[in-house]
Structure 1
Amino acid sequence: MMKELKSKAFWRAVLAELLGMTLFIFLSIGAAIGNPNNSNPDQEVKVSLAFGLSIATLAQSLGHISGAHLNPAVTLGLLASCQISLLKAVMYIAAQMLGAAVASGIVYGVRPENVTALGVNSLNNISSSQGIGVELLATFQLVLCVLAVTDKRRRDVTGSAPLAIGLSVALGHLTAISFTGCGINPARSFGPAVIMGDFENHWVYWVGPMCGGVAAALIYDFLLYPKYDDFPERMKVLVSGPDAAVGDKDTGPEQEVKVALAFGLAIATLAQSLCHISGAHFNPAITLAMLINCQISIFRAVFYILAQMLGAVFASGIVYGLRPNTTDSLGVNKLNGVDVAQGFGIEFLATFQLVLCFIATTDNRRSDVTGSAPLAIGLSVCLGHLAAIRYTGCGINPARSFGPAVITKGFENHWVYWVGPISGGLVAALVYDYLLHPKLGDLTERLKVLCYGPEDAPAQEPLLEANAAQWNKG
């Protein structure tokens, strides 16, 4: 226990759970509450998917040539991370802005005569400071995802990095489009603004994303997964490039789909970004299941759950502060036409399938898993929401339910959203571990893990190796 307490890797993992939970709750709850002033809510999923799929496709097509930044905020984040030279960053940003202006001019020229809009970003009944906050956080998660899935030091990344980045873009749009039109890309905002001559509050779409990108780079590079390059080596990259260096509104069906996608994509993106640091639990039910499964220590489980709850409260407070004045909802879970016993059953089963998916896809005894474990887990979260959201609001995560409840003081039937998910998670762990795919370790070995953490983790860096083994499916 004291070894974990003194380990930098342990505290980085706790920080990753805190940061991941904060981003998860902000992105998912932000998408869930929406904006009542939005005149085209039916277009949100379509637009989000269009932006996300376009980035995924282009990143797959051009990533081997330029790195496929396609966004000044990403370029600036990689510059702050000392992965490109200053000259290349300047030329990339100039090219991105020129490309956005040319493309916007083409769209303007071929649009039907009865279409007057050109997708100019504008604040939707929120202040400029709220707009900066939304843009900063939406861009933060995107750049964090880019840095994490393209980190050459990682050995545990499976699946498609371009797809993960595209899903991150779609997630940002699902969350922010109701409030700011979702810039998260200064060049994307610049192109239509130039053609239409409309620069009202345009600075918001530069300051927010650029600050979010740089903050993501610094936090990833110095706190979450530090690099140990000498300062002269980092300066050499900036000057000459890397080659010179010697690395609760009423929810109709369309709103339910949007919310389910937002929660699922948030988990998939953040799991891909942070799994190599903390294991990416982001859910007390999963953490307790992993404890019962003897994959983490009691000490780590306690700190993870505290970090998850703190992150959820912090993010709920951010959403509460950034929401439009006309929005009084904060996504507090409530039973809808079901009693507490039915609510418990729904939460139990929805969480059971999620935790079963998590344990199965991260089981390092398996050699038959291909594709992306984070994506599979994200789809499981999405499935749980599609099934449960109409009846319970879909908790399946006690911390997610706790955050909004604390901020709004809405604790009616709140116990259902703890007892149901935690029971479902624990049962899933026991069923998998003792019936479906039993482990053969003796009781002494299992108790050692509960007290000290996984025995196979090296003393100097226990967490990294344990999580690399847990997530590596290559």
Structure 2
Amino acid sequence: MRPRRFTVGRSEDAVHPDTMRAALAEFLATALFVFAAEGSLLSLDKLYKDTTTAGGLVVVAVAHAFALMVAVSVAFNISGGHVNPAVTFGALLGGRISLIRAVFYWAAQILGAIVAAALLRITTGGMRPLGFSLASGVSEWHALLLEIIMTFGLMYTFYATALDPKRGYLGTIAPLAIGFIVGANILSGAPFDGAGMNPARVFGVALVGWRWSHHWLYWVGPFIGAGLAGLIYEFLLIQPETAPHTHQPLAPEDY
């Protein structure tokens, strides 16, 4: 069978109950992830007034890995557990989700991140989210390339463990693998540009904390990286003659 192709979807999918449920799952999962992930940074800043130490970096990486693992797990059976607009974009280019459904996911993810960042500011007594910025000596183009590479690894891992029709038992450990790759990327990339990889999370803390330094690269880099990974895995690595015509859970094309 031929690989999937990009699809816009049907107009009725926009009001289908399953689309609404999937969008709600993405909203809640993204909010849970951003609250825990950004909360770990604020906790370190509250305790030590410094989040740049080696020990602090490990704590933040572990917190992100665990939080994302849980967020993907709780949404996996309803929406596929994207929890990231870049991941949704990669799935869209690979034909694993329709454009209509992707738009709902993007709106839900961004709103979830904003709500989580706002709740953090309220519950911490007005602490301003730290946001993302470039380290000294790191140019925008270096950071852009870093975001592309890190998000490529994230999307490739997501495709291999959550979307590949032949994933088998790997599907059960997909949330763990996805969380681990994000934690590893934070260890390698956070000291340079904060290791965004998730435009929704970056936008949420930027809006609530009003920190917009170099904001564009945290959208462009992840979308390029995830898009490349989705296209490469779908059209070069999945064998056309053995790839079954099945979609991710509750995709609108399956109604």
The two structures have a TM-score, normalised by structure 1, of 0.48
Question: CA–CA distance in 1 between the matches of 2:69 and 2:34?
Answer: 13
Question: CA–CA distance in 1 between the matches of 2:46 and 2:96?
Answer: 46
Aligned to 2:3: none
Cα deviation for residue 372 of structure 1 reads 1.2
Say which SS state the counterpart of residue 82 (structure 2) adopts.
coil
Q: Is 1:351 aligned to residue 151 of structure 2?
A: yes
Question: CA–CA distance in 2 between the matches of 1:365 and 1:418?
Answer: 29
What are the residue-to-residue correspondences of 1:12-411 with 2, within 5 Å? 12-34=21-43, 36-38=45-47, 249-324=50-125, 327-328=127-128, 330-337=129-136, 338-366=138-166, 368-370=168-170, 371-411=172-212
Cα deviation for residue 367 of structure 1 reads 5.0
CA change 1:367–1:281 in 2 (3 A) is: closer
Q: Is the contact made by 1:432 and 1:438 (CA closer than 8 Å) also made in structure 2?
A: no
Question: CA–CA distance in 2 between the matches of 1:319 and 1:438?
Answer: 45
Aligned to 1:8: 17
- Residue by residue over 1:293-319, the C-alpha shift from the partner in whole angstroms, topping out at 9 and shown as x without a partner, is 101110000110011111111111111
Q: Is the contact made by 1:295 and 1:454 (CA closer than 8 Å) also made in structure 2?
A: no
Q: Is the contact made by 2:51 and 2:57 (CA closer than 8 Å) also made in structure 1?
A: no
CA change 1:295–1:339 in 2 (3 A) is: same
- Residue by residue over 1:11-65, the C-alpha shift from the partner in whole angstroms, topping out at 9 and shown as x without a partner, is 0110111111111111110011215553xx7xxxxxxxxxxxxxxxxxxxxxxxx
Question: CA–CA distance in 1 between the matches of 2:46 and 2:163?
Answer: 45
Q: Is the contact made by 2:41 and 2:130 (CA closer than 8 Å) also made in structure 1?
A: yes
CA change 1:37–1:272 in 2 (3 A) is: closer
Question: CA–CA distance in 2 between the matches of 1:253 and 1:430?
Answer: 36
Question: CA–CA distance in 1 between the matches of 2:14 and 2:232?
Answer: 31
CA change 1:321–1:388 in 2 (3 A) is: same
- Residue by residue over 1:380-406, the C-alpha shift from the partner in whole angstroms, topping out at 9 and shown as x without a partner, is 111111111100111000011100111
Aligned to 2:228: 427
Q: Is the contact made by 2:150 and 2:197 (CA closer than 8 Å) also made in structure 1?
A: yes
Aligned to 1:182: none
CA change 1:9–1:359 in 2 (3 A) is: same
Question: CA–CA distance in 2 between the matches of 1:320 and 1:439?
Answer: 49
Aligned to 2:6: none
Question: CA–CA distance in 2 between the matches of 1:18 and 1:341?
Answer: 31
Task: Name the count of aligned residue pairs.
Answer: 241
CA change 1:3–1:344 in 2 (3 A) is: same
Cα deviation for residue 426 of structure 1 reads 0.4
Cα deviation for residue 347 of structure 1 reads 0.6
Question: CA–CA distance in 1 between the matches of 2:196 and 2:118?
Answer: 18
Is the radius of gyration larger for structure 1 or structure 2? Answer: 1
Q: Is the contact made by 1:335 and 1:392 (CA closer than 8 Å) also made in structure 2?
A: yes
Q: Is the contact made by 1:271 and 1:280 (CA closer than 8 Å) also made in structure 2?
A: yes
The two structures have a TM-score, normalised by structure 2, of 0.87
Q: Is the contact made by 1:288 and 1:426 (CA closer than 8 Å) also made in structure 2?
A: yes
Say which SS state the counterpart of residue 30 (structure 1) adopts.
helix
Question: CA–CA distance in 2 between the matches of 1:300 and 1:431?
Answer: 22
What is the letter of the counterpart of residue 280 of structure 1?
G
Question: CA–CA distance in 1 between the matches of 2:46 and 2:202?
Answer: 25
CA RMSD of aligned residues (A): 2.4
Cα deviation for residue 410 of structure 1 reads 1.3
Say which SS state the counterpart of residue 60 (structure 2) adopts.
helix
**Gap runs ≥5 in structure 2:** 1-9
Cα deviation for residue 249 of structure 1 reads 3.9
**Gap runs ≥5 in structure 1:** 42-247, 460-474
Say which SS state the counterpart of residue 163 (structure 2) adopts.
coil
